Structure 1
Amino acid sequence: MKIELFIDKSLEENAQEYYERAKKAKKKLTGAKQALEETRKKANLELKKKEASALKSKLVTLEKSRKKEWYEKFRWFLSSDNFLVIGGRDASTNEIVVKKHMDQDDLVYHTDAPGSPFVIIKNPDKKEIPKETKEEAACFAATFSKAWDLGIKRVEVFEVDPEQVSKQAKSGEYISKGAFMVQGKRTHYTPVLSLAVGYFNEPSSPGLKVIMSGPESAVKKKCEKSISLTQGDLKKGDVAKLLMKKFDLASNESILSCLPSGKFSVKK
């Protein structure tokens, strides 16, 4: 190895010159290594972002393509005793729920509060419907009426048999879409509004989550993870985004569709 010496400098000065050059070169090398490491980190971060975005897009597609059960077009939940409970989302679906899905051994719940759904406990096996399921169905009817939006805590709900519900109006009266005539004896409930949102895994598609909302008692029992809500100041869209993050979902559409109108707060 050849070393160039400066003839106008002493041996010690030449040594000092090369020592200083070596220090500068080392600094440059260290800086280059740091810059390279930062570049690698940024590249890895960008790659992870792209992978996360691709995964999120795939999950959104999977969630949307999941074959839904017939009752998911309505409001619904599974009771603590494993009965399916369904209700209308609006006047049109109230009509469908009563006309197409109300059977002889079911029970029907409704309230005179505006915007109340007709709620039905489905009973295809003709079992005796337990008290807890009845109370949950009454609570469901109250929670998804306008009472939530108005900040009302309790609403009177009545229970009747299917044969007491008809579209037959009294003479000179008109029954609007989504409304029905209810005749005969009623069983009354006055539930406190109660709402929780949770999820359970889709049995046929591992990794996909089915969102369910309903009375706190039922949701906590049936769902793997749930969050209870009360009336509050959070807008519907904001609470849906919050729950989306808590449940690690790709989108908040399924949560938005299962909330009543109004504002919310997360129950502590």
Structure 2
Amino acid sequence: MSKALHGHKARKRFGQNFLHDQNVISKIVASINPKPDQNIVEIGPGLGAITSEVLPLAQSMHVVELDRDLIPKLEFICDGKGTLTVHQSDALKFDFSQLADGDHSLRVIGNLPYNISTPLIFHLLENHKVVRDMHFMLQKEVVDRMAAHEKENNYGRLSVMTAYFCKVEPLFLVGPGSFNPPPKVESAIVRLTPYETLPFPAKDLKILQTVVTTAFGMRRKTLRNCLKKIISAEEIESLGINPTARAETLSVETFVNIANYIFERPAAEQS
């Protein structure tokens, strides 16, 4: 790996931090547990630290890489280890459903750039029906927010929408020294497993997203104040919810109940 690193400087604009700790790489690969004939796609493979270990076990995989200068190095490192299909693309704009060969067929992995990790997670959640599971290296703070439950300080929009679609399992921490260059934050590995059947299905996903985003838009305000343009305090109370409560006290199920009420109420009542 040192030869591969030579001559390529990590690019800040791409959020590049290259993983080099072999113990960590081995733990990540063991967590993924890749098998032949699985439909594996890696986001941001970089210099192939994980790719070169997963590919021989999976025999074939797709990778999505934005930095075109890395692609020849990646292909060289992975030569002879299996069939590698490279998509030179921005993962935020990439249509992951085009790689699916059935429902819940994709296994998505990656060391996600910190600067785009949250919007990228939301982009992938939109494709939840074609994804079997996701294993990501993320900033520890992001993983903590994903795994947070109601009434916890870091519970927010990311927590609610991730838990709506997926089972969230933080796996282990990764220190800055495992990367080149070392990031200024601690990292963590998380496993996200989309539900085949949603526990609390929303009748209209866009309404749910609007309710959640609006409710957390002004965290210190009550539901009565945050949501007044889309639902009245009386309607909130009719659902058995205290309108003076704050967003961080509401469960995923409660947010879905609010969204479904808004969807189902007569058109004359829609604001």
Provide TM-score, normalisation by structure 2: 0.23
Max Rg structure: 1
Q: TM-score, normalised by structure 1?
A: 0.24
